[in-house]
Amino acid sequence: MKVGTGKLRAAALVVLVAWMMTGCGGAPERANPSGTLEATKINVAPAIGGRVLEVRARLGDRVSLGDTLVVLDTELIRLQRAQTEANQQSIVAQRRLAEEDIRQAKRSLELAETTLRRLEVLLDEGSATQQRVDDLTTQRDVAASRLTAARKRLEVFAAEQAKVNAALAVFDRQLQDGVLTAPLDGTVLVRATQPGEMAVPGGTLMRIANLSKMELRIFLGEEDLDLVRVGQALRVLVDALEGEELTGTVIWISSEAEFTPRNVQTREARAQLVYAVKLRLANPHGRLHIGMPAEVRLQPAARKSS
C-alpha cells in the first residue's frame, strides 16, 4: 500500500510540473480572431423623383459598371426643356436685333461726329450757321444715346440667355438622372422597386455589392499588433467551407484603439481596448457570402529583443 501511494504521488508531481511548463512557464496561447465576411455595398438611389418605367435588373443578377438598372418617367422634364429651348430661340433673335441696332447706332454716331467736325470748321470760316451746328450736335447726342441703349439691351439679353442655358443644363442633368446605372461591377442584393411605383429622391431602389472581393474585419489587442502588417498574407478559415484554408491579405490596420464591439459575448472582452484590422479575400467562384463567420490564424512573428 505504501509503494502504491508513492507511485501516485510521483505521477501527480509529473502532471503538476507538466501543467506548470505548458500553462505557466510556456508561451501563452493566442486566440485566433474571428469576424464575419463583408463586401462593398452601394445603394442605388435617384436624385430626382418620378414614376418607375423600367427595372432592368433582377435580384441576384450580376451587373457591370454603367449597365442601366432603372428608368424613370421624365416626359414632363422633356416638355419643360422644350419650352425653355423655345424661349432661348426667342432671346437669340432679340440679341441679334440688339446687335444690329448697335451697328447702326455706331454708324450714325460716327457719321454725326464726322459731319459735326467739318461743320465746326466751316463755322469758324463763316460758311455755316450756329443753328446747323446745334442741330448736328443734337443728332450726335441722339445717336450716342441710341448706342448706349442698344448695348444695355444686349447685356440684358445676354444675361437672359445665360439663365436659359443654365436651365437647359439642369433639365439635361435631370434627364440623365432619370436613367440609373450600375455604379460598379457587382451583384444585385436588394431590388426595392417595381415598374409603376413612385421613386422619391434619395430612396434606395437597389443595392449592389461587389462579391468578387470580400473583406473580413477582426480586432486585435495591443500585444498582438506586431503579428500583422499591411500586405501580409494570413490563413483564413471560413466555417461554411469545412476547414478549407483561404488566404487573406491585410489591407488596413487601425491607428486608433477602440472598445471591443458590443457583439462580443463577454462583458470583460467588450471592456478591452483593441485595434481593428481588415483583410481582403478573393472570391472568384462566388463561394463566399456576406455574413459568413471566418477565423484568422495569426502566424507567430519573431519579437524584437529588448
pLDDT by residue for the chain (306 residues), tens digit each? Answer: 444 555 445 444 444 434 444 444 444 455 689 999 999 999 999 999 999 999 999 999 999 999 999 999 999 999 999 999 999 888 888 888 888 888 888 888 888 888 888 878 777 777 778 888 788 888 888 888 888 888 888 888 888 989 999 999 999 999 999 999 999 999 999 999 999 999 999 999 999 999 999 999 999 988 888 899 999 999 999 999 987 899 999 999 998 888 766 555 444 555 578 999 999 999 999 999 999 999 999 874 344 443
Which residues is 181 bridged to in the sheet?
68
| Nearest C-alpha neighbor of 269 from the set 257, 260, 278, 277 | 260
SS3 73: coil
Taking CA 227 as the corner, what is the angle to CA 238 and CA 221, rounded to the nearest 5 degrees? 85
Domain boundaries, the chain: 75-175
Radius of gyration of the chain (CA): 41
Ranges of H-type helices in 130-253: 130-177
SS3 305: coil
pLDDT for the residue numbered 290: 95
Q: Which amino acid is at 18?
A: A
Distances (CA, A) of 148 to 101, 108, 152, 242: 10, 13, 6, 87
> For the stretch 257-273, what's the b/e string if a residue is b when 16 or more beta carbons lie within 10 angstroms of its beta carbon?
eeebeeeeeeeeeeeee
Distinct helix (H) and strand (E) counts, the chain: 4, 13
Tell me the C-alpha distance between 264 and 64, whole Å: 37
pLDDT for the residue numbered 261: 65
Tell me the C-alpha distance between 175 and 72, whole Å: 9
pLDDT for the residue numbered 137: 86
Grid cell listed for 32:
485566433
